[in-house]
Chains A and B, each alone.
Chain A
Amino acid sequence: MASFRFAVSVMPKEGILDPQGRAVETSLPHLGVDSVHGVRVGRRVELSVDAADASEARAVVERLAGELFANPLIEAWSIEGPVPARAEGAATGAVPVEAAR
């Protein structure tokens, strides 16, 4: 049994109103930035899965992504990983999967 680390990114689907993204965008002029558009705000879930192999672990993540992390009616998701697991909470902001790229 090994541990596999994944990250699931969940974004509002195309065409779904994203009021958070819109709010961020409308605040940008206050920072003196007027060159940015198309802001979308989503969610990122990181998790470790104990499994016999990577494909078994990924199957668990895929199930969770579709049933729990995202609502398929309004959200799209993508899965990154697996990458070798690190101690949970060890990284401060820096995401293992990002570091592994």
Chain B
Amino acid sequence: MRIGVVVFPGSNCDRDALHASALAGAAATALWHETPDLSGSDVVILPGGFAYGDYLRAGVLARFSPIMGAIRDHAAGGGLVLGICNGFQVLAEAGLVPGALLRNTSLRFEHRWVRMTVEGRDTPFTSAVPEGRTLRMPVAHGEGCYFLPEPELDALEARGGVVFRYAAPEGNPNGSVRDIAGVINERGNVCGLMPHPERASEPLLGSDDGMLLFRSLIESVALAAAANAATSQPRLVGAPA
């Protein structure tokens, strides 16, 4: 099971994401954004940072990096993609998850610990999170105010597209509509969130709640592989796989 972490110019949580992936038991590979190849990754993570310096709009220039075509194909084939912070902004700009991330209503760079509830339907990103468990993770962003027009927001909620919501006592750090911290696409295989699971990967860091997301990904890939093996035709020994 391999997790590929994309490295854009300006990514700065790529190593943290690689570390957390390895800690959770995955083979972890850094993927340079100019190479349109995912090195056989089962899961692709778009990490936090400031890709292309956040010029023009956070995430928009990264959206046109050569690797994004391969990520689109991966997602179109049902492959899992997780966008964290700046990675969420890239996914939103690319239209792979709904919505846009606006400047925080405080106009400040918000860096602090938050809490989130996990909602919506079962997802491959949250399957290992115990029922009713709130997750404690840090945020660190200037543009994390989630926005979607009202009618689309209702549709998103109705289909269980809101996966993470900021919760008390810290509450909503950025002014996101309906306290939304993370969303998932309609197919349920591309997810983005502003808080940093990779920065909450060990008790030493103040929380290891983020590991629940990494474990969910690993379990989900294993389950999908087992399901595929059960349904596929037996192959002749020595035949090409």
Q: Do A and B come from one complex?
A: yes
Interface residues of A (CB under 8 A from B): 16-17, 19-20, 23, 68-69, 71, 73-74
Least CB distance from B198 to A in Å reads 26
Contact of A68 with B60 at beta-carbon distance under 8 Å, contacts A73-B99, A73-B147 already known = yes
Instruction: Identify A16's interface contact among B56, B99, B102, CB under 8 A.
Output: B102
Distance of A16 Cα from B104 Cα, bound (Å):
12
7 A-B pairs within 8 Å (CB atoms) are namely A16-B147, A17-B102, A17-B105, A19-B103, A19-B104, A69-B56, A73-B100
- Chain B residues with Cβ below 8 Å from A19 are 102-107
- Using a CB-CB cutoff of 8 Å, which residues 184-213 of chain B contact chain A? none
Least CB distance from A62 to B in Å reads 17
Least CB distance from A23 to B in Å reads 5
Instruction: Identify A74's interface contact among B64, B102, B106, B175, CB under 8 A.
Output: B102
- Chain A residues with Cβ below 8 Å from B100 are 71, 73-74
6 closest cross-chain pairs (CB), A and B: A74-B100, A73-B100, A19-B107, A19-B103, A23-B107, A19-B105
- Can you name the residue of chain B whose Cβ is closest to the Cβ of A13? B149
- Using a CB-CB cutoff of 8 Å, which residues 47-102 of chain B contact chain A? 56-57, 60, 64, 93, 99-100, 102
| Seed contacts A68-B64, A73-B147; 6 additional CB < 8 Å A-B pairs | A17-B145, A19-B103, A19-B107, A68-B56, A71-B60, A74-B102
